[in-house]
Structure formats: C-alpha cells, structure tokens
C-alpha cells in the first residue's frame, strides 16, 4: 500500500470529533472525537481575508477554527489546540487531501468538544471555563509549510500551513487572546508536533508577565527503524520537509548543525524549546507501532499484523520489540531532565491521543501514573502544584489502569 493510503481507523471515531482520518496520507492522526454529550459544538469560523493573506488550505479555501468563550475565573485564560491529521509528502497525496476536511474547509463541519475541551468542571477541573480554540488542520504539514505547486491536472496546491498559523493567531489576538493572563498551546499527533514547532513563537507573542506554556499530546514521533530495518517515517518526513518547505519554522540552532529533516523530529526540536512544555505520550503509542515500527510497507508477517492491531495479541518476542520502542522514546526524552519547568507523562497504554477523550483525560478508568489521571497531572504541572512532574511508566503490561476500552 502506498504511504499516502495508510489509514488506521478507530471504530466509532471517524466522524465524531475531528473527521481526521479520511484520506490521510501515510500518517493519519488517528484521533477523532469520542461520542459526546449535550449542547451544540462551537461554531466553525472561517479565517477572515484568508486569500489576501495567502493563508489558505491545500485547495485554496479559507482555514477554520472553533472558539468557545471562557467564563468566570477563566475569562482571561486561553487554550489554543492544534488539530492533527497526519501529513502529505507527495503532490498526489496532498491532492487527495483537497477532497476532504484535511485539505479543504469546504468539507469541514463543527465538531463537539470533550476531554480537555469539556466545560464540565467535574470532567475538566482546571480548564473547564477557559477560552478554548480548536484550530482545524488542512495544510498537511503540521502548520509549517510555505510553498505552492500544481498537481497533474493543473490544479494549484497551496502549502501554507505557516501562514495559516500566523493569520489565525493574529485573528485570535484581536478576539481577546492578546489580553490573556495565561495561555496554553496544545495539540495532538501531527498537531502535537505542530505545538513543538510553534511553541516558542507562541510564547514570544505575549508580554513576559503572561504565563505561557505548551502541551504536546502523542506528538513525539520517533526516528525509528521499522521491522525491515528501514526508516519509513523518515522517508515520509523527508517528503514533507522538501515538498512543503518547512525550514522557516525549524530552530535556527538546529539548522546550523543538522539537516532540516533531522530538525523536524521532536527529539531534536525539544533541545531548542525554551518555553515550559509538557510531553504526554504512550511508550507503546498505537499509531507508531502500526505505522512507524510495523508499517504496511514492511510486509509484516501475519503474526505482526495481529500484534500491531492489538497489543494484547502480541507474543513475548514481539513485546520485547515493543519495549525497544519505549526505550528509544525514554532515551530521546532524557534532555527534558535538564528543563526544570517541563513535565512528562509517559504511560504504557496501547493508545494514541489521550486529551480529546473523556475516557483518557479524566474518568474512573483513565490511565494513571503516580495515582494521577492525565488531567490531574497536566493541571498540577501547569499550575505548579506540588513537586516537578516527570512520570515514566513501567513496561507493558504492568499498569492495571491501561484499560482495553482506551481508543487505539
């Protein structure tokens, strides 16, 4: 199967929260929204003057976001959350994206909020009353590209993720973000990578007195060899970096000593980030097992097809290989130990993207480390409650709070 056709689907999740996985190139984000509760979703807002600003989706349509206003004590607190949805690394793949919400706002619909977006205090005690923005993803390069191409049919493709980022943040500033007393930039999967790419730029837009932090969920993608000894994810990133011209968002200190491709990986990005950041990831990230470690391109044996679909079906030899994935992640994150205001929550659950789901974020069966749910851990880190939070789970299957009901 070609890279641009890879797509991991979750039963019951495709349409509801983020409509992310339809026609996703190799790396579909793999998170959509859980079935949600009451109330209408925040209105889908198209960026004003998008064409004039050159800040458009792959097909030239205006990008979009959803904004839910904060209230009470959260009126001057802002959560800006970047949607994920994989990447497109070829003209052909990006052209396919223009026929979906991942490349055109013409196919977008407003989606319901849950998890970290919930306005229910019992489910989201620290952020329930904040201004919450969900920035929709339609550029295919983690909000980082700046180029333009034509596909084989002569249709223009606009790789304008960087301009989308800048224009939407500028518009949000006019809508109250500039008056924030505290702001948190977050995102999941390819949106989690985008969070790392834009973290310091986001921070630089505020006066020093404003508390600004960043939070990447399932965005720590590894430069890891697959089962055939190839670096499949590296080949995908190489296509994204060169096709979409992402150099402008990459750290200058990294580019001074490494190739742009290397600087697009989180293991290098985090070395350059000065803004306090929280990394949430599973050491057994289900998407990375399916697409980085055992991609379809590696022609896995039938036993691996079963294993990568459900970690509970892996044999002891396969589990040892998966332990290696976790060890690589933990090793790449050692640099965080020298960053005092950073936080880690690396669990051992077979899942990917844990913030937009109530079941993962804060529920009776949420993953726990140090007897804290993800919501509690992130809140304690953000508000500096207690000791520094750097939780790294034991090896699978040690954690009894890793429920089989978690989205994978």
The domain segmentation of the chain, as residue ranges, is 3-392
Report CA-CA distances (Å) from 382 to 289, 292, 347, 377: 30, 31, 19, 9
| pLDDT score at 38 | 52
| pLDDT score at 51 | 96
Options 33, 189, 348, 366, the catalytic residue: 189
| pLDDT score at 19 | 35
Options 59, 262, 285, 380, the catalytic residue: 285
Q: CA 352 to CA 191: how far, in whole Å?
A: 12
Query: Does residue 189 register a pLDDT over 80?
Result: yes
Q: CA 124 to CA 143: how far, in whole Å?
A: 27
Higher confidence at residue 257 or residue 228? 257
Give the contacts of 96 (CB within 8 A, at least 6 positions apart).
4, 23, 25, 88, 103
| pLDDT score at 299 | 74
Give the contacts of 109 (CB within 8 A, at least 6 positions apart).
19, 44, 101
**Helix/strand/coil percent split, the chain, to 5:** 35, 15, 50
| pLDDT score at 143 | 98
Under DSSP, the state recorded for 154 is S
- pTM across the whole model: 0.91
| pLDDT score at 296 | 87
User: What is the chain's mean pLDDT, rounded?
Assistant: 90
Query: Does residue 163 register a pLDDT over 80?
Result: yes
Q: What is the mean pLDDT of residues 289-306?
A: 88
Q: Considering only CA atoms, which of 123, 157, 112, 122 is closest in space to residue 138?
A: 157
Active site residue 201: no
| pLDDT score at 9 | 29
Residue 113 CA to chain centroid, in angstroms? Answer: 16
- According to DSSP H, which parts of 245-385 are helical? 252-255, 260-263, 266-272, 286-288, 302-309, 316-332, 358-361, 374-382
Tell me the pLDDT band of 349, cut-offs 50, 70 and 90: very high
* Model confidence pLDDT, tens digit, residues 8-60: 323 333 333 333 333 333 333 333 333 334 578 999 999 999 999 999 999 99
Give the contacts of 393 (CB within 8 A, at least 6 positions apart).
283, 346, 347, 348, 369, 399
Query: Does residue 127 register a pLDDT over 80?
Result: yes
| pLDDT score at 14 | 32
| pLDDT score at 39 | 72
Active site residue 352: yes
Active site residue 382: no
Q: What is the mean pLDDT of residues 52-74?
A: 98
Q: What is the mean pLDDT of residues 212-221?
A: 98
State phi, psi for 85 to the nearest 5 degrees.
160, 25
State phi, psi for 373 to the nearest 5 degrees.
-75, 170
User: What are the DSSP E strand ranges found in 83-190?
Assistant: 131-135, 147-150, 156-159, 182-188
| pLDDT score at 310 | 95
Q: Considering only CA atoms, which of 36, 8, 54 is closest in space to residue 359?
A: 36
Options 97, 198, 352, 382, the catalytic residue: 352
Q: Specify whether domain 3-392 bears CATH 3.40.50.
A: yes
Considering the chain, what percentage of its residues have pLDDT values greater than 90? 84
Q: CA 394 to CA 408: how far, in whole Å?
A: 19
């Amino acid at each position: 199967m070609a890279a641009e056709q890879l797509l991991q689907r979750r039963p019951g999740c495709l349409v509801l929260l983020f409509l992310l996985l339809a026609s996703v190139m190799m790396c579909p984000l793999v998170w959509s929204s859980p079935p949600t509760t009451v109330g209408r979703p925040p209105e889908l807002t198209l960026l004003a003057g998008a064409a004039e600003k050159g800040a458009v989706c792959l097909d030239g349509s205006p990008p979009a976001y959803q904004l839910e206003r904060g209230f009470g004590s959260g009126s001057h607190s802002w959560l800006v959350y970047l949607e994920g949805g994989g990447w497109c690394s070829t003209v052909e793949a990006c052209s396919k994206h223009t026929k979906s919400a991942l490349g055109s706002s013409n196919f977008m619909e407003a989606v319901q909020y849950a998890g970290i977006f919930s306005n229910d205090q019992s489910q989201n005690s620290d952020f329930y009353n904040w201004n919450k923005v969900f920035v929709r993803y339609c550029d295919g390069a983690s909000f980082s590209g700046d180029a333009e191409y034509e596909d084989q049919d002569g249709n223009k493709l606009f790789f304008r993720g960087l301009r989308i980022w800048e224009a939407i943040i500028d518009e949000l500033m006019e809508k109250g973000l500039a008056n924030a007393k505290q702001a948190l930039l977050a995102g999941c999967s390819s949106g989690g990578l985008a969070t790392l790419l834009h973290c310091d730029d986001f921070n630089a837009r505020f006066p020093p007195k404003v508390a600004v932090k960043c939070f990447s969920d399932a965005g720590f993608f590894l430069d890891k060899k697959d089962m055939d000894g190839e670096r499949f994810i590296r080949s995908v990133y190489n296509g994204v970096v060169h096709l979409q011209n992402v150099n402008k968002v990459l750290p200058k200190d990294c580019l001074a000593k490494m190739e742009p491709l290397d600087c697009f990986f989180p293991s290098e990005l985090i070395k350059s980030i000065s803004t306090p950041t929280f990394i949430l990831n599973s050491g057994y990230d289900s998407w990375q097992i399916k697409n980085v470690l055992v991609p379809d391109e590696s022609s896995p044996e039938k036993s691996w097809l079963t294993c990568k679909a459900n970690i509970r079906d892996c044999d002891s030899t396969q589990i040892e290989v998966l332990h290696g994935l976790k060890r690589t992640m933990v090793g790449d994150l050692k640099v965080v130990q020298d960053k005092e205001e950073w936080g880690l929550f690396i669990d051992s659950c077979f899942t990917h993207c844990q913030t937009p789901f109530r079941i993962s974020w804060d529920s009776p069966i949420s993953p726990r480390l140090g007897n804290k749910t993800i919501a509690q851990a992130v809140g304690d880190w953000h508000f500096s409650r207690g000791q520094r939070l750097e939780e790294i789970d034991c090896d699978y299957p040690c954690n009894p709070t890793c429920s089989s009901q978690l989205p994978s």
